[in-house]
Amino acid sequence: MQKKGGNDNVSLNFEEGEFDGHHVASIHNHPADVYSPPSGNNFGILLRSFEDFELIAGFDCLWILKAADVDMKLNVELKLYADLLLDSCQDYCRKKYGDSEKAYDVCDIMYGVVLSNYINYKNINDIQLTKKEYKP
């Protein structure tokens, strides 16, 4: 397996079948200047049959995305929804609070709550999004 990381991306190459029969989790961080909830790109977990969990470490919380046995169509739906939702939250917060830190904080919370509700209340089998808060 080859792992490569940087300030703005991480790639993972693996052999097909390498993780069969395992419950694998990946973890990556969303630093203080990035929204803490999963972005549309995080839903790539849905395309990896061997990986059941993605952990997204924010500045003051940990997001746990559980996903198993999900198809391409759902991956595309969740990615598009997350991207559109984030754009909408950013537009709303900029209009209401300008470019202030409050706009960023409100958007982070709003985006996370609505995304969690969409995933968890949609009753999609084997997909859950959970936020665990902690003090930095």
Residue with the bigger pLDDT between 126 and 101: it is 101
Q: Which pTM does this prediction carry?
A: 0.77
> Across all residues in the chain, what is the average pLDDT?
81
pLDDT at 90 over 60: yes
Residue pair 47/97 in contact (Cβ under 8 Å)? The answer is no
Nearest CA to 131 among 40, 42, 60, 30? Answer: 60
Number of domains in the chain: 1
Give me the phi and psi of 73, to 5 degrees please.
Answer: -60, -45
- Per-residue pLDDT band at 2 (split at 50, 70, 90): very low
What mean pLDDT is predicted for residues 59-70?
83
Q: Where in the sequence is the domain holding 40, given as residue range(s)?
A: 2-133
Distance from the Cα of residue 72 to its chain's centroid = 16
In the prediction, which pLDDT does 29 show? 83
- Copy the structure tokens of residue 17: 């079948």
pLDDT at 120 over 70: yes
What mean pLDDT is predicted for residues 4-17?
60
- Cβ atoms within 10 Å, residue 92: 14
- Per-residue pLDDT band at 116 (split at 50, 70, 90): very high
